[in-house]
Amino acid sequence: MFSFLKKALGKTNEAIKEVLPQKKRVLTKDEFEEILLESDVHYDLVERLLMGLPDEINRIQAFNSLISVFQYKANWKESDDKPFVEMIIGVNGAGKTTTISKLARRYQKEGKSVILGAGDTFRAAAIEQLKRWADKLEIPIVYTQQGHDPSAVVYDTILSAKSRGSDHVIIDTAGRLHTQSNLGEELKKMVRVATKALPTAPNRKMLILDGTQGGSTINQVKVFDEMIGIDGIIITKLDGTAKGGAVLTIADELKMPIFYIGVGEQPDDLIRFKANEYVNTILDEIFI
């Protein structure tokens, strides 16, 4: 787990080394502040994290400060419902389709059966990409032609899952700009139709955030949450950015569960997010 996280935070740790070429036993407040800002932690949060810390900071004090960001009550929405229906939401380019394949692969490795629903009917490329992943992973997929009603795909996918006895349903959604009101209405309809097909569905509505965008993605979450209610977050592409500290900003601002982080392009490159491991991976680059 730590090796995967170290890979994911590689560029962030390189940025830390530019600020602090040599690891230390204690840091000054100024050094700690500079490291956090360089890692894309929001300034206001940095100020709060430094509050109450001594002028010289050891690892335990730094850990206690950073881990405090994650000490909020979050509804993880886990259940034994079968099928367990997840809708995957996010803007184009965030890594939605790849993340769906990673989730599907994760469930496969747990011995669970999965079916995909190609609910992004706005882009033909999205349907084709998801079909390729389904073929590669050898799992069933429900899809239609570009431009057709995505809610029909939602309904058919859930009915197919029920008839097959599938454990998991993962439904893709259109990734147009979150400011478009027609997308909002489309997503609301997809949620309503999912509930008609199965009263417990969707069990979880997961938003994909592009880690390379850092803390600027927070407004996306707020808009989507107002539209349909977001249950949790998956952060992608952390391995491609020095903005790994933005995870702290995202957690602090949104107080939502961060379920997974993407650490690469392969189907196995998705790991459960654990706050203590995330914080320790950063501190490993700072302290002896």
Asked if residues 161 and 107 have their Cβ atoms less than 8 Å apart, the reply is: no
The packing angle between helices 218-228 and 181-197, to 10°, is 50
Summary mean pLDDT of the chain = 92
Dump pLDDT digits (tens) for 223-265.
899 889 999 999 998 888 888 999 999 999 999 999 999 887 8
Percent of the chain exceeding pLDDT 70 equals 97
CA angle, residues 252, 217, 35, in degrees to nearest 5: 55
* Model confidence at 2: pLDDT above 60: no
By CB atoms closer than 10 A (0-12, 13-18, 19+), residue 73 is exposed
Q: Give me the pLDDT at residue 7, please.
A: 76
* Model confidence at 32: pLDDT above 90: yes
The packing angle between helices 10-19 and 29-38, to 10°, is 140
Residue 176 CA to residue 183 CA, distance in Å, equals 7
Percent of the chain exceeding pLDDT 90 equals 74
Place of tokens 């994911």: 8
| Per-residue b or e along 272-283, where b marks 16 or more CB atoms closer than 10 Å to that residue's CB | ebebeebbbbbb
Average pLDDT over residues 105-121: 97
Of 101, 27, 15, nearest in space to 58 by CA:
27
Instruction: Kindly provide the residue ranges of all beta strands, DSSP E only, lying in the chain, ordered along the sequence.
Output: 26-28, 56-58, 84-89, 114-117, 141-142, 168-172, 204-210, 232-236, 258-262, 270-272
Residue 193 CA from chain centroid, whole number:
24
Alpha helical stretches, state H, 235-274:
246-254
Lowest-confidence segment of 121-125, 166-170, 196-200 by average pLDDT:
121-125
Q: Give me the pLDDT at residue 134, please.
A: 97
Residue 58 CA to residue 33 CA, distance in Å, equals 14
Q: Give me the pLDDT at residue 282, please.
A: 93
* Model confidence at 177: pLDDT above 80: no
Q: Give me the pLDDT at residue 180, please.
A: 67
Q: Please, which pLDDT band fits residue 93 given cuts at 50, 70 and 90?
A: confident
Lowest-confidence segment of 12-16, 31-35, 255-259 by average pLDDT:
12-16
Higher pLDDT, 128 or 91: 128
Higher pLDDT, 151 or 219: 151
Dump pLDDT digits (tens) for 198-233.
999 999 999 999 988 887 788 888 889 988 999 999
Residue 147 CA to residue 222 CA, distance in Å, equals 27
Higher pLDDT, 263 or 185: 185
Dump pLDDT digits (tens) for 42-89.
999 999 999 989 999 999 999 999 999 999 998 888 899 999 999 999
Collapsing DSSP states into helix, strand and coil, what is residue 245?
coil
User: In degrees rounded to 5, what are phi and psi of residue 96?
Assistant: -65, -50
Tell me the one-letter amino acid at 244: G
CA angle, residues 203, 206, 208, in degrees to nearest 5: 165
Give me the domains of the chain, ranges plus CATH numbers. Answer: 2-72 (1.20.120), 84-273 (3.40.50.300)
User: In degrees rounded to 5, what are phi and psi of residue 170?
Assistant: -120, 120
* Model confidence at 178: pLDDT above 70: no
What CA–CA distances, in Å, run from 4 to 79, 165, 270, 276? 27, 33, 9, 14
Q: Give me the pLDDT at residue 219, please.
A: 86
User: In degrees rounded to 5, what are phi and psi of residue 210?
Assistant: -80, 110
